[in-house]
Amino acid sequence: MSDSVFTHSQDQLKQLARDVLAFAREKGGSDAAVEISEGSGLSVSVRKSAIETIEQNKDKGMGVTVFIGKKRGNASTSDFSPAALRATVDAAYNIARFTAEDDCAGLADADMLEMAPRDLKLFYPWTISTEEAVALAQRAEAAAFAVDARVSNSEGAGVHVQQSHFVAANSRGFIGGYPYSRHTLSVAPIAGKGKHMQRDDWYSSVRDARKMASPEAIGRYAAERALARLHARKLSTRTCPVLFEAPLAAGLLGAFVQATSGGALYRKSTFLLDSLGQSVFPSHVQIKEDPHVVGAVGSAPFDEEGVRTVKRDVVKDGVLQGYFLSTYSARKLGMQTTGNAGGSHNLSLTSTLTRKGDDFEAMLRKLGTGLLVTELMGQGTNYVTGDYSRGASGYWVENGVIQYPVEEITIAGNMKEMFQQIVGIGSDVLVRGTKQTGSILIEKMVVAGN
């Protein structure tokens, strides 16, 4: 199936990878790793039904790392001719010659490599024409406008189609690759007029376009979100419970990943330093990683270094069981790679307290009186200290019922304390990229306003 979409077949990419490794051996490299990829895509955007942009991309590339003992050099090219591949290997080798030795440099150990990668069904080509993509975007935007006359403007709607494949290989016997796809439909309507305008957005991003939400559903929901924000008020400064809507809750999970990633740990630039085996969440919180979910956006049979990925408990009963490590960061820490070179895979954040009926409305009732956050602004997280301060907007809630929208506020706390003060996770589960979680209720945070 993939051969009809791409210029090169998987077998051809594998042969190119073998050629590059052979060139590296001939040059005198003690080890080498290569990745060769090819992809194509289509992006269209419309605004107020008129076409704004149409972009088609077709790209390919080869990146090689050559080791001379504990020295390494990297180089890349988009030319797959033998002469260009050999020249790129030469460049990487020459860079390595003049690079300082690094005791932690080197390929992953052979017994960690995935020599028989499984097929996780990550490729679903979407044979959609430019005209059809434009029509989908127009339908999503039209659905938003149709919700209410107050939705009078739009930042646009878009369709993005991407399908790629790659092969990675190294001189310790690993070679593997696969095709993959990701397709997205999004819309961002604007409600109100003059000084009383509010925008919001929604999107659906999937590997298989058949599983994408309908453009009408995406448009309607985006419009409803924008309308709900009209006539927002400010709040006086206070301390109160805060409920993070599921899309933002995924960001909290992302902050946890960053704080427990190898680079931050060996640089000692994280508030969760030396936290392995410690309670970093309350005992009801669980975080699992499953890289082998068939068809999922965050799935991979091996990481960027060819290391096999594994299903594991990252946090069990609140206790941190493992970090997110590449081969290099693991060696810096005197540990073993976790197969996370390139990031996390299909993380799910759950709570043993969550019941089937703990949907969004139930989480509002658990919040009681407090702040529901639906948008965050700025990058106010200090990963060294854990201090957290973000511009925010959302809704003030009393007795489990939304009272009015709020804006121009700041929420503040410390990530270490925020993690410990998670008192509930909703069953309103949403997948955002490689992360999956419901809304998250935090016992108390400072809300700064007037």
pTM of the model: 0.93
Dist. CA 78–CA 8, nearest whole Å: 13
405 within some domain: yes
96 within some domain: yes
> By the 8 A CB rule, do 9 and 3 touch?
yes
If asked whether residues 283 and 423 sit together in one domain, one would say: yes
302 within some domain: yes
If asked whether residues 82 and 12 sit together in one domain, one would say: yes
Q: How many distinct helices (H) and strands (E) make up the chain?
A: 9, 19
Look up residue 335 and give its amino acid. Answer: M
Dist. CA 84–CA 92, nearest whole Å: 12
Task: Output the domain CATH number for residue 136.
Answer: 3.30.2290.10
Whole-Å CA distances, 280 to 249, 312, 389, 420: 17, 17, 20, 6
Domain count, the chain: 2
If asked whether residues 133 and 31 sit together in one domain, one would say: yes
Q: Which of 234, 285, 311, 294 is nearest to 418 (CA)?
A: 285
Q: Which two tokens stand for residue 269?
A: 């630039």
215 within some domain: yes
Burial class (CB in 10 A: 0-12, 13-18, 19+), 81: exposed
310: left (phi over 0), alpha (psi -120 to 50) or beta: beta
Dist. CA 338–CA 418, nearest whole Å: 26
Which among 187, 203, 228 is the end of a domain? 228
Which among 194, 228, 262 is the end of a domain? 228
| Percent of residues in the chain assigned helix, strand, coil, to nearest 5 | 25, 40, 35
> By the 8 A CB rule, do 306 and 113 touch?
yes
If asked whether residues 404 and 352 sit together in one domain, one would say: yes
332 within some domain: yes
Give the pLDDT of residue 65.
98
Dist. CA 71–CA 210, nearest whole Å: 47
Burial class (CB in 10 A: 0-12, 13-18, 19+), 241: buried
233 within some domain: no
If asked whether residues 352 and 289 sit together in one domain, one would say: yes
If asked whether residues 197 and 270 sit together in one domain, one would say: no
Give the pLDDT of residue 195.
83
Domain range for residue 169? 2-228
Tens digit of each residue's pLDDT, the chain (450 residues) = 344 689 999 999 999 999 999 999 999 999 999 999 999 999 999 999 999 999 999 999 999 999 999 999 999 999 999 999 999 999 999 999 999 999 999 999 999 999 999 999 999 999 999 999 999 999 999 999 999 999 999 999 999 999 999 999 999 999 999 999 999 999 999 999 888 899 999 999 999 999 999 999 999 999 999 999 999 999 999 999 999 999 999 999 999 999 999 999 999 999 999 999 999 999 999 999 999 999 999 999 999 999 999 999 999 999 999 999 999 999 999 999 999 999 999 999 999 999 988 999 999 999 999 999 999 998 889 999 999 999 999 999 999 999 999 999 999 999 999 999 999 999 999 999 899 999 999 999 999 987
If asked whether residues 203 and 247 sit together in one domain, one would say: no
Give the pLDDT of residue 380.
84
If asked whether residues 206 and 274 sit together in one domain, one would say: no
If asked whether residues 178 and 312 sit together in one domain, one would say: no
If asked whether residues 9 and 96 sit together in one domain, one would say: yes
Which among 197, 228, 259 is the end of a domain? 228
First to last CA, the chain: 59
If asked whether residues 419 and 319 sit together in one domain, one would say: yes
> By the 8 A CB rule, do 429 and 363 touch?
no
How many of the other CB atoms lie within 10 Å of CB of 91? 17
If asked whether residues 276 and 218 sit together in one domain, one would say: no
191 within some domain: yes
443 within some domain: yes
